[in-house]
């Protein structure tokens, strides 16, 4: 089951307003969350071969794992530990608000 991520994709509209660094940060975090979610989905699909004919192989479990992966992706993005959002903000000319290692390297 695919989770509709229209709310994440809608935040791309925020990229048009380059004068507001908060909007740029929010759009970068949304993209990072979407990217992490796609990585987790690919990892689950690669592991699906091993889960065939198991007790946990059901459409309900697939839906739960999809929701879980989406939530994990959002939490990882908001924590700032993954770093993709920081790199996007830096690359697009915004200032990093998180105080990550990127700020001390330049």
* pLDDT per residue as tens digits for the range 79-101: 888 899 999 988 887 655 555 44
For position 3, what pLDDT does the model report? 47
Within 8 A by CB and 6+ apart from 2, the residues are 66
Nearest to 66 by CA among 36, 37, 33, 31: 37
Q: How many CB atoms lie within 10 A of CB 34?
A: 19
For position 33, what pLDDT does the model report? 93
Structure tokens belonging to residue 82:
């993954």
Nearest to 31 by CA among 69, 68, 74: 74
Mean pLDDT of the chain: 76
Q: Which residue has the higher pLDDT, 97 or 57?
A: 57
Structure tokens belonging to residue 14:
């925020």
pTM of the predicted structure, to 2 decimals? 0.66
For position 71, what pLDDT does the model report? 93
């Amino acid at each position: 089951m695919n989770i509709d991520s229209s709310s994440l994709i809608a935040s791309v509209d925020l990229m048009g307003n380059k004068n507001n660094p908060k909007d740029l940060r929010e759009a970068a975090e949304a993209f990072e969350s979407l990217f992490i979610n796609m990585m987790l989905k690919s990892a689950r699909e690669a592991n699906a071969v091993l889960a065939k004919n198991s007790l946990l192989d059901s459409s309900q479990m697939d839906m739960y794992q999809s929701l879980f992966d989406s939530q994990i992706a959002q939490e990882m993005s908001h924590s700032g530990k993954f770093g993709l959002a920081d790199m996007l903000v830096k690359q697009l000319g915004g200032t990093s608000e998180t105080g990550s290692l990127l700020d001390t390297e330049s």
